[in-house]
Amino acid sequence: MSKSSSNPKTVTQSAQPRFGRMDLGLEYVTEGIARARDWLLGLQHPDGYWCGELEADSMLESDYIFMHVLLGTGDRGRMERAVNEIVRHQNEDGGWSNYPNGPSNISLGVKAYFALKLMGWSPDHPVMVKARNWVLANGGVTECNTFTKIYLCFMGQYEYDAVPAVPPEIVLFPKWCYFNIYEISSWSRAILVPLSIAYAKKPFKKIPPEQGIDELFVGGRKNAHLHLKWDKKRILGWRNIFLGLDRIAHWAERVHIRPLRKVALRKAEKWMLERFEKSDGLGAIYPAMLNAIIALFCLGYTVDDPQLIRAMDEFEKLGIDNPEGEPHYPTPTFRMQPCVSPVWDTAQAVYALGEAGVSKTDPCMVKAADWLLAKEVRQKGDWAVKVPNVQPGGWYFEFNNEFYPDVDDSAQVLLALNCVTHPRERNQHDVSQRALDWIFAMQCKNGGWASFDRDNTKMIFQYIPFADHNAMLDPPTVDITGRILEMLANYGYDRRDKRVEKAIQFVLKEQEPDGSWFGRWGVNYLYGTFLVLRGLEAMGMWNHEPAIQQAAEWIRMVQNADGGWGETCGSYDDPSTRGIGPSTPSQTAWAVLGLLAAGDTRSDSVAKGIRWLIEKQREDGNWDESADGRNNEATYTGTGFPRVFYLAYHLYRDYFPLLALTTYKRAMEKEAEEAAA
């Protein structure tokens, strides 16, 4: 939203630039910083933390309805409002996307259609006709991913024999075994263990024929080819080997040769219940929590059992209920979040505010630091299987998730704590040192850092038949490594430390031919590139190095005509579209931060980017990051699983632009001081 020229604080054509042809005077930047700072401070919770909404696609609402119908639970009103949320995100072609303005996705389409039928919608309704036509035109139910098919099995809409086996015996592999569950990503582990319980128990909910989805099978369900497809090009490849093992597992299921099944179920149940403790549900993430609830039902837990009550309560807390509707969408809605992000948002907000000049002893900063210090992990979790000889430290993403601290959050919290002078200075020092020791212990062999585990890189797991959610592994990434380099520099580490140098060499080796870096946890190359550049700058790398200048040139090349930057989630599917998309506040901020880190303070690109941020800032100090034409749905600039699941962090539009404006102002002031000297 451009500012009106009638506002005396608005940047207008008559404003005289102070630093260059495209630059704004610093007074406008200073005013923008003040408004953004005050806005962000106003969002702080009385307990000291920040937590913005974490938005995801309509699959969550579809699964919410599915689960409650399966189990015979749930609030009918909430489920009806979830229907409204699903319907409002249907695409013009009849399908549903996993990010706004993206292509329709077959699994989302089937789930949405099924959820609406479970809620009593007629197949003749225009919404249903459009959805059905799109699904059939794109291959029908058999083209869905594995998790969708397994859920359909629970209600008799697919055959158990036609989905990949997820036997609970996977938990029995010893830790030294190549195929033990700690060799897959932490989120896959938390999703698959309860799912394996459900697969073993094979729940079946008989639903009325009119609620079934036989019409979504191309040629009819009885004629559908339901079995998994072999790789004809690589007869002896790993996919075919695993498919052969899968067929053996199915045969064993049919003839009841399962000698270790009872032992496996007991161990899987124990594993799951242990991770309920000190956690907001299993893994504190939506799919694991949903699967855990279904698993408890399959194991015979009743609705009045404390474990099930607690699991259901934690799951429902992810919901955002708007029975009266919202200003931009008056229809009552209910939507689910994939998890919550208080530690992440708090660490980012504190760091941005600290960089913006908020005093290290400001009560708001101290209160936030108090809250973060209280969230330190003090118990060993899954990570300790590979890293046994280091004491716990670091932080997780959510309110409580003791078994799963992550390196990225831990690094950002350390950056935030460095912006605060806490009255209990010794305690803050000790907590920070434990986190530093833990982060160093989590460094992978190649010098980089992953999120939750060390050296979680066995590519063979990607060929397992149920691995089509594209997230079986947690390899080291340059975006996390870049953030850690920046953090380590703030704590006095430099390139003389062999661990630091190894990390630098890792990110340099990962640079793309065009100069950019891939972003695993943010969309996409803009995210990865800005974090690497900030990390290298913090470590004192000369900004005239070819790698840095090439990265800066790439950022300048992908700038939009309006002066901002944007990149869609589609760049994960088609890397040739990297850096291409409508301008957004968060991604414009990343690009500006990247250029400033590369030593570019004077180019038109930086000036235009700063002008874009100032002109798009609202009078109250925040920015709008809604996707055009999607009922004010936020643009997704966060990444869950590339090519599968994306996120909109609602506070990204606030703290990243604030950080960019502040960093720019500091650079300009430093140049002015140097010129005066």
Q: What is the DSSP letter of 598?
A: T
Q: pLDDT grade, residue 236 (50/70/90)?
A: low
Give the percent of the chain with pLDDT over 90: 83
Instruction: Determine the distance from the C-alpha atom of residue 317 to the mean position of all C-alpha atoms in its chain, rounded to a whole number.
Output: 18
User: How distant, in Å, are the alpha carbons of 137, 201, 484, 526 from that of 581?
Assistant: 28, 46, 28, 11
Tokens in use for 340? 């919550």
Report whether CATH 1.50.10.20 matches the domain 26-54+338-442+477-676.
yes
Q: What is the DSSP letter of 384?
A: G
As a whole number of angstroms, the distance between CA 367 and CA 353 comes to: 13
pLDDT digits (tens, 9 = 90+) for 354-405: 999 999 999 999 999 999 999 999 999 999 999 999 999 999 999 999 999 9
pLDDT at residue 234 above 80? no
As a whole number of angstroms, the distance between CA 335 and CA 64 comes to: 9
* Closest listed residue to residue 110, CA positions, set 147, 85, 162: 147
The pLDDT score that the predictor gives to residue 14 is 33
Q: What angle do CA 409, 413, 414 make, to 5 degrees?
A: 120
pLDDT digits (tens, 9 = 90+) for 538-572: 999 999 999 999 999 999 999 999 999 999 999 99
The pLDDT score that the predictor gives to residue 9 is 35
pLDDT digits (tens, 9 = 90+) for 29-53: 999 999 999 999 999 999 999 999 9
The pLDDT score that the predictor gives to residue 46 is 98
The pLDDT score that the predictor gives to residue 500 is 98
The pLDDT score that the predictor gives to residue 272 is 98
Number of Cβ within 10 Å of residue 139's Cβ equals 12
- Does residue 408 have an active-site annotation? yes
Tokens in use for 163? 């989905």
Quick one: average pLDDT of 512-536? 98
Tokens in use for 400? 């409580």
Which residue out of 57, 345, 406, 408 is catalytically annotated? 408
Task: List alpha helices for 222-319, DSSP H.
Answer: 238-254, 261-274, 286-298, 306-316
Q: Which amino acid does the sequence have at 264? A: A
As a whole number of angstroms, the distance between CA 246 and CA 167 comes to: 10
Task: Give the bridge partners for 644, in sequence order.
Answer: none
As a whole number of angstroms, the distance between CA 593 and CA 613 comes to: 12
- Residues 6 or more apart whose CB falls under 8 angstroms from that of 119 comprise 65, 79, 80, 83
- Residues 6 or more apart whose CB falls under 8 angstroms from that of 246 comprise 164, 165, 228, 465
Tokens in use for 82? 């979830």
As a whole number of angstroms, the distance between CA 581 and CA 186 comes to: 32
The pLDDT score that the predictor gives to residue 226 is 58
Contact in structure between 352 and 40 (CB atoms under 8 Å): yes
Half-sphere exposure of 121 (CA within 13 A, CB side): 24
The pLDDT score that the predictor gives to residue 241 is 82
Q: Which amino acid does the sequence have at 293? A: I
Quick one: average pLDDT of 239-243? 79
As a whole number of angstroms, the distance between CA 212 and CA 202 comes to: 18
SS3 track for 264-290: HHHHHHHHHHHCCCCECCHHHCHHHHH
| Residue 548 buriedness (CB in 10 A; 0-12 / 13-18 / 19+) | buried
Under DSSP, is residue 221 helix (H, G, I), strand (E, B) or coil?
helix
Positions of CATH 1.50.10.20 in the chain:
26-54+338-442+477-676, 57-336
Q: Which amino acid does the sequence have at 672? A: A
Tokens 């509707």, located at residue: 325
Q: pLDDT grade, residue 17 (50/70/90)?
A: very low
As a whole number of angstroms, the distance between CA 309 and CA 329 comes to: 32
Number of Cβ within 10 Å of residue 136's Cβ equals 16
Q: Which amino acid does the sequence have at 294? A: I
**CATH class entry, domain 57-336:** mainly alpha
As a whole number of angstroms, the distance between CA 670 and CA 554 comes to: 26
**Would you say how long the chain is, in residues?**
677
Which of 15-19, 168-172, 477-481, 520-524 has the weakest average pLDDT?
15-19
pLDDT at residue 255 above 90? no
As a whole number of angstroms, the distance between CA 634 and CA 366 comes to: 31
Task: List alpha helices for 301-341, DSSP H.
Answer: 306-316
> CA 57, 62, 65, 71 torsion: positive or negative?
negative
As a whole number of angstroms, the distance between CA 68 and CA 77 comes to: 12
Under DSSP, is residue 189 helix (H, G, I), strand (E, B) or coil?
helix
SS3 track for 27-94: HHHHHHHHHHHHHHHHCCCCCCCCCCCEECCCHHHHHHHHHHHHHCCCCHHHHHHHHHHHHCCCCCCC
| Residue 392 buriedness (CB in 10 A; 0-12 / 13-18 / 19+) | middle
pTM of the model: 0.94
Phi/psi of residue 449, nearest 5 degrees: -125, 140
Tokens in use for 221? 């369900």
pLDDT at residue 115 above 80? yes
The pLDDT score that the predictor gives to residue 12 is 36
Q: pLDDT grade, residue 178 (50/70/90)?
A: confident
Instruction: Determine the distance from the C-alpha atom of residue 91 to the mean position of all C-alpha atoms in its chain, rounded to a whole number.
Output: 23
Tokens in use for 481? 């490594």
Phi/psi of residue 32, nearest 5 degrees: -65, -40
Under DSSP, is residue 370 helix (H, G, I), strand (E, B) or coil?
helix
Phi/psi of residue 2, nearest 5 degrees: -75, 150
Contact in structure between 579 and 526 (CB atoms under 8 Å): yes
Number of Cβ within 10 Å of residue 4's Cβ equals 9
Q: What is the DSSP string of 464-528?
A: STT-TTS-S-B--BHHHHHHHHHHHHHTT--TTSHHHHHHHHHHHHT--TTS----SSBSSHHHH
As a whole number of angstroms, the distance between CA 312 and CA 289 comes to: 8
Quick one: average pLDDT of 161-172? 93
pLDDT digits (tens, 9 = 90+) for 89-99: 999 999 999 99
Phi/psi of residue 668, nearest 5 degrees: -65, -40
As a whole number of angstroms, the distance between CA 473 and CA 455 comes to: 9
Average pLDDT taken over every residue of the chain: 92
Q: What is the DSSP letter of 645?
A: E
Query: At CB < 8 A and 24+ separation, what contacts does 149-152 make?
Result: 150/195, 150/198, 150/199, 151/63, 151/66, 151/111, 152/110, 152/114, 152/213
